[in-house]
């Protein structure tokens, strides 16, 4: 049999070309995810620095000042220290649950960032069920906390895990009802559609004015979901040492620390998307559509402006959350559950019924 060498070389070159195309396809698929993760990491470092500076200002202290200019590298130094610390395992605990718990808490929150529109067409996955996907994924985080508390073989840790589960269930229902009210107003569950329905009238088109009760309930419920003061019962240091984090050290403790700030950042982003108009400016598009409509700008320039506006609104809400931590005292567990079940749940249900009635009347 005579084998044509040119044909063999053509087949090899074709196979190499196909493998290169597959490699480039994988790289282009992973690149947006990598950029998003890097941006989230940078955002968390900024939040940690802001919290230390704001809390120092409220308490009339100096705050971090030695690690880098104005102490901006302090969070990075703390993360590096936790990375090189020894990981200790409880001798009589369930090591599998103990190790898996922090990972579930972080991964479930990280997945929620995929549906956040940072600017016009600047989103990782524009899904038709975006906001409900966030609620479904975020409800997995307390499972990780409960696993951590149970696997630690520590009564304080287990009680902290139980508190985290009870608190999440109590406040996730009012939060879901508020999101459903916004979805009814926008006739969509997509986060991009929700932002675009608020863009026509600028500042006055925000859902903040159409859903003021829902905004307040969402604000309170998101603080409770993030376990921030006055709702930090799962890790109340005066009662439970450190709650479900008591037996943790090193990078596993750092994962819980990162998860709390990731949750705070995603909640602030959703407040911006659902109630504050997302990437849109304060000025109505009706007054100057060519000048102020970000969607009609150039791709790169419009995207940069949209991301800047989204982050500005987000960090404004973050300032409110940080200031609340150093202003209000901690609630008791019975007060926390009473607030969720006896007040926020009926009010959010009534708000949903009112929204539904107005939408039916407007048809």
pLDDT given for residue 95 in this prediction: 84
Checking if the pLDDT of 294 tops 70, the result is: no
Q: What is the overall mean pLDDT for the chain?
A: 83
Q: In angstroms, rounded to a whole number, what is the distance separating the alpha carbons of residues 124 and 115?
A: 6
Residue 68: pLDDT band with limits 50, 70, 90: confident
pLDDT given for residue 297 in this prediction: 52
- Decide: residue 76, CB within 10 A, 0-12 exposed, 13-18 middle, 19+ buried: middle
pLDDT given for residue 1 in this prediction: 47
Residue with tokens 């070389």: 9
Tokens of 25: 């396809």
Checking if the pLDDT of 344 tops 60, the result is: yes
Q: Which is higher by pLDDT, 81 or 284?
A: 81
Tokens of 276: 């504050």
pLDDT given for residue 21 in this prediction: 73
Residue 177: pLDDT band with limits 50, 70, 90: very high
Residue 14: pLDDT band with limits 50, 70, 90: low
Closest CA to 178 of 357, 360, 347, 362: 347
Does a cis peptide bond (omega within 30 degrees of 0) precede residue 230? yes
Checking if the pLDDT of 313 tops 70, the result is: yes
* Mean pLDDT calculated for residue range 218-239: 81
Q: Which is higher by pLDDT, 145 or 10?
A: 145
Say how many Å lie between the first and final Cα of the chain, rounded. Answer: 78
Tokens of 348: 């959010």
Backbone angles phi, psi at 76, to 5 degrees: -65, -40
Q: Which is higher by pLDDT, 36 or 26?
A: 36
Backbone angles phi, psi at 272, to 5 degrees: -65, -45
Residue 212: pLDDT band with limits 50, 70, 90: very high
Task: Give the lowest-confidence range in 191-200, 236-245, 254-263.
Answer: 236-245
Q: In angstroms, rounded to a whole number, what is the distance separating the alpha carbons of residues 172 and 225?
A: 7
Q: In angstroms, rounded to a whole number, what is the distance separating the alpha carbons of residues 63 and 54?
A: 9
CB 130 within 8 A of CB 113: no
* Mean pLDDT calculated for residue range 53-68: 85
pLDDT given for residue 348 in this prediction: 94
Q: Check: pTM over 0.85? Answer yes or no.
A: yes
* Mean pLDDT calculated for residue range 61-82: 84
Q: CA–CA distance from 263 to each of 88, 228, 258 (Å)?
A: 26, 10, 9
Share of the chain above pLDDT 90, in %: 17
pLDDT given for residue 10 in this prediction: 61
pLDDT given for residue 254 in this prediction: 87
Q: Which residues have C-beta within 8 Å of that of residue 28, sequence separation ≥ 6?
A: none
pLDDT given for residue 7 in this prediction: 62
Checking if the pLDDT of 201 tops 70, the result is: yes
Checking if the pLDDT of 308 tops 70, the result is: yes
pLDDT given for residue 166 in this prediction: 86
* Mean pLDDT calculated for residue range 343-360: 92
Closest CA to 316 of 219, 209, 214, 172: 219
Task: Give the lowest-confidence range in 18-22, 330-334, 349-353.
Answer: 18-22
**Cα 311 off chain centre by:** 13
Q: In angstroms, rounded to a whole number, what is the distance separating the alpha carbons of residues 313 and 182?
A: 18
Q: In angstroms, rounded to a whole number, what is the distance separating the alpha carbons of residues 188 and 247?
A: 44
* Mean pLDDT calculated for residue range 139-149: 86
* Mean pLDDT calculated for residue range 127-151: 86
Q: Across the chain, which distance is largest between two alpha carbons, in Å?
A: 89
HEC profile for the chain? CCCCHHHHHHHHHHHHHHHHHHHHHHHHHHHHHHHHHHHHHHHHHHHHHHHHHHHHHHCCCCCCCCCCHHHCCHHHHHHHHHHCCCCCCCCCCCHHHHHHHHHHHHHHHHHHHHHCCCECCECCCCCCCHHHHHHHHHCCHHHHHHHHHHHCCCHHHHHHHHHHHHHHHHHHHHHHHHHHHHHHHHCCCCHHHHHHHCCCCHHHHCHHHHCHHHHHHHHHHHHHHCCCCCCCHHHCHHHHCCHHHCCCCHHHHHHHHHHHHHHHHHHHHHHHHHHCCCCCCCCCCCCCHHHHCHHHCCHHHHHHHHHHHHHHHHHHHHHHHHHHHCCCCCCCHHHHHHHHHHHHHHHHHHHHHHHHHHHHHCC
């Amino acid at each position: 049999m005579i084998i044509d060498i040119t044909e063999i070389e053509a087949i090899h070159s074709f196979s190499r070309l196909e493998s290169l195309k597959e490699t480039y396809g994988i790289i282009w698929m992973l690149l947006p995810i990598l950029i998003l993760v890097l941006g989230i990491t940078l955002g968390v470092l900024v939040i940690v620095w802001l919290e230390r500076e704001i809390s120092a200002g409220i308490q009339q202290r100096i705050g971090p000042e030695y690690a880098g200019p104005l102490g901006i590298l302090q969070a990075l130094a703390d993360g590096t220290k936790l990375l090189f610390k020894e990981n200790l395992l409880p001798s009589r605990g369930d090591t599998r649950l103990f190790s898996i718990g922090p990972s579930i808490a972080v991964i479930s929150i990280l997945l929620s960032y995929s549906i956040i529109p940072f600017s016009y067409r600047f989103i990782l996955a524009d899904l038709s069920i975006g906001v409900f996907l966030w609620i479904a994924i975020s409800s997995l985080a307390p499972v990780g906390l409960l696993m951590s508390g149970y696997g630690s073989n520590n009564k304080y840790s287990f009680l902290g895990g139980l508190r985290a589960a009870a608190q999440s269930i109590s406040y996730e229902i009012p939060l879901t009802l508020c999101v459903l009210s916004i979805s009814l107003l926008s006739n969509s569950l997509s986060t991009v559609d929700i932002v675009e329905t608020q863009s026509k009238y600028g500042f006055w088109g925000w859902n903040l004015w159409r859903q003021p009760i829902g905004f307040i309930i969402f604000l309170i419920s998101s603080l409770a979901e993030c376990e921030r003061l006055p709702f930090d019962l799962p890790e109340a240091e005066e009662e439970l040492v450190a709650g479900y984090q008591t037996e943790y050290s090193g990078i596993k403790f750092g994962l819980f620390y990162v998860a709390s700030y990731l949750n705070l950042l995603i909640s602030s982003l959703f407040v911006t998307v659902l109630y504050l108009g997302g990437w849109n400016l304060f000025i109505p598009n009706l007054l100057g559509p060519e000048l102020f409509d970000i969607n009609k700008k150039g791709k790169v320039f419009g995207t940069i402006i949209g991301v800047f506006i989204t982050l500005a609104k987000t960090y404004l809400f973050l300032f409110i959350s940080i200031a609340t931590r150093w202003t209000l005292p901690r609630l008791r567990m019975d007060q926390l559950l009473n607030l969720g079940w006896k007040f926020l749940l009926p009010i959010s249900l009534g708000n949903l019924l009112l929204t539904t009635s107005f939408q039916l009347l407007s048809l």
